Structure 1
Amino acid sequence: MQNDSQTVGAAGEFGVIDRIVTTAGADTGGEVIIGPGDDAAVVAAPDQRVVISTDVYVEGRHFRQDWSSAEDIGHRVVASAVADIAAMGARATSVVIGVACPAQTELRWLDSFSLGVRDECATAGAALVGGDMSSSDAIVISVTALGDLGGHAAVVRSGAVPGDVVAVAGTLGHAAAGLAILSRGFRSGKAFIEAHRRPQPPYAEGPRALAHGAHAMCDVSDGLLADLGHIAKASGVWIDVAGGSFEIPPRMAEIAGALGADPLQWITAGGEDHALAATYPADRVPEGWHVVGEVREASTEGPRVTLDGAAPEVTGWTHFGDR
């Protein structure tokens, strides 16, 4: 029987790894040929190409244990990495996770984290195939996700062309609202807090966007305007987002009013919902995607993103900024 009060340091590296594999499960179906237990995993690549994305989460910078449970964090880190796979138009196949943590971290925390990883991998259709453990002063988590394009060309940032429309699948602003609520020490607005703790990326919409002829696509992790900025720069175009295209949920507006915040800014500049934003020919937008802007020829100002034709005050998160 597992000792829930034991620490990571007492269990040792290999004991901890065995525990994670037992808790999170080791899938050897689908593309997984050899899962955890050897020096490396072996995953089939039917397409003969592998889509790869890595995310790093640092305690205190990307998550707080007083705001999120270990299980929440497990969900969140997998969602972040796999959303990037979907943004290429690919289907996730497998995930590798590295965890560094203090030796006094209790195994019950790691068990809960592993359950979150297991459940989010199941939602995304990916298998946990391996990882690594190390010690550190704070918890640091690295997640690498792999995916398959099914024989199709990837949807990249550089494909947007003037005349395209910009459309979004998934929610925007919910995680930012949740972060604002938590930052002010409030606890009302449970749905938004949960969106911050456990984002729900529209994984299936990535391959669906590819099938419908999306020209360019990205995961909205740093903020819609900021992430569309990557598409604008890579494609050499001007993207204009229409502020009036967004429907602000009444509860979000109510919370924003109480906090003295602008809900439209949460929607256009708040990240971590991991929605997908893509550009399409106007007649190819899939049902369920919401048109929010258009792609234009770059002006003399060069590639850029505007909100209602003007430069926005805030575009999104910057990893080395003051936020």
Structure 2
Amino acid sequence: MTVAGVGEFGLIDRVTARLTHGESCLLGPGDDAAVVAAPDRRVVASTDVLVEGRHFRRDWSSARDVGHRAAAANLADIAAMGATPTALLVALCIPADLETIWAEELADGLGAEAAKVGASVVGGDMSASPTLTIAVTALGDLAERPPVVRSGARPGDVVALAGRTGWAAAGYTVLSRGFRTPRLLVEAFRRPEVPYPAGPHAARLGATAMIDVSDGLLADLGHVAKASGVAIDVHRDSFEVPRQMRDAAQALGVDPYSWILTGGDDHALAATFPRSVALPEEWRPVGRVVEGAGVTVDGAAYEGRTGWDHFR
């Protein structure tokens, strides 16, 4: 059965029937707009778009995988502000010949990823399009804390990382070369493992700046350095290359540190903390903030691209 066969409103009914709602959803799909609780009286909001052929391929990932990835990309942005995600709004632009079950299973993935943080898919929109496109808006609550922005890093701060980097980039390289193993790397590309609780925890610890690592660690730390008017030096020996990644890199002729330092889509969180803060286990030091501008690795400029740029 295709989308054209069930029609717009039939598809909406099928999709919304698969969604569950958390406590923050006061009124879900079915009206002109949803109602979401905002105890803090401020709402953190972020939007991200996934385009088929650019961000995902249906022959590489299942519909559930794509749903998890689409939700994770936005939920990670909310966590990077030190907030707790509460809701997702999803707009689907889909070909009329798309199988209905694909859209339904996409909703399953979106809902399952949102449920990890107690958030809900509360509404959205649909349109016909020759290119399958998924646009997600995430909302979040700051719990009466100030947001952790990119412009607060200061010389002397410790740069720390929660989560992993390089895994999704390695999985993408494996898939692009026509392979499906190592499975751990491929699955990391299909469904990122985001350390959502680390964001609000960092805010409570006194993080001075924070960012979601979506385009590459060096590129995203570059945004922090620019916004804060500082330089950041990353310590290469802070990163251990996992065996699966090392073996895949050797087989494919790739420097594994290029995945770790410049690969995106893992959605780790990078933050800066005053040196006086005792970092918990979930945050590991990977560098320091110094006077100057830009990002270096072990005191030297990094040779090559530092991350993903859609228009380059």
1:45-66 Cα shifts (integer Å, max 9, x gaps): 1101000000000000000011
Query: 1:87 touches 1:276 (CA, 8 Å); kept in 2?
Result: yes
* Shift, 1:205, TM fit: 0.4
Q: Distance in 2 between matches of 1:24 and 1:40?
A: 16
- Structure 1 position 316 matched with structure 2 position 311: no
Supply the AA of the counterpart residue of 2:261.
Answer: T
**Number of equivalent positions:** 310
1:114-147 Cα shifts (integer Å, max 9, x gaps): 1111111111221110011000001100000000
- Structure 1 position 201 matched with structure 2 position 194: yes
Query: 2:91 touches 2:125 (CA, 8 Å); kept in 1?
Result: yes
* Shift, 1:316, TM fit: 0.5
* Shift, 1:314, TM fit: 2.2
In the alignment, what sits opposite 2:140?
147
* Shift, 1:239, TM fit: 0.2
In the alignment, what sits opposite 1:305?
295
- Structure 1 position 268 matched with structure 2 position 294: no
- Structure 1 position 73 matched with structure 2 position 66: yes
Q: How big is the alpha-carbon RMSD for the aligned residues of Structure 1 and Structure 2? A: 0.9
Q: Distance in 1 between matches of 2:205 and 2:306?
A: 28
Equivalent residue of 2:309, what SS?
Answer: coil
Query: 1:240 touches 1:307 (CA, 8 Å); kept in 2?
Result: yes
Unaligned runs of 5+ in 1: 1-5
Given the alignment, which residue of 290, 297, 300 partners 1:296?
290
Q: Distance in 1 between matches of 2:116 and 2:290?
A: 37
Deviates more, 1:245-254 or 1:151-160: 245-254
Unaligned runs of 5+ in 2: none
In the alignment, what sits opposite 1:36?
29
Equivalent residue of 1:23, what SS?
Answer: coil
In the alignment, what sits opposite 2:8?
13
Supply the AA of the counterpart residue of 2:280.
Answer: P
Q: What is the TM-score of this pair, normalised by structure 2?
A: 0.98
Query: 2:198 touches 2:282 (CA, 8 Å); kept in 1?
Result: no
Q: After superposition, where does 1:156-235 map in structure 2 within 5 Å?
A: 156-235=149-228
In the alignment, what sits opposite 2:104?
111
Q: What is the TM-score of this pair, normalised by structure 1?
A: 0.94
In the alignment, what sits opposite 2:89?
96
- Structure 1 position 57 matched with structure 2 position 57: no
Query: 1:86 touches 1:207 (CA, 8 Å); kept in 2?
Result: yes
Q: Distance in 2 between matches of 1:73 and 1:240?
A: 34
Query: 1:265 touches 1:314 (CA, 8 Å); kept in 2?
Result: no
Identity, in percent, stands at 58
Q: Distance in 2 between matches of 1:75 and 1:101?
A: 18
Q: Distance in 1 between matches of 2:167 and 2:106?
A: 23
Supply the AA of the counterpart residue of 1:15.
Answer: G
Q: Distance in 1 between matches of 2:280 and 2:212?
A: 17
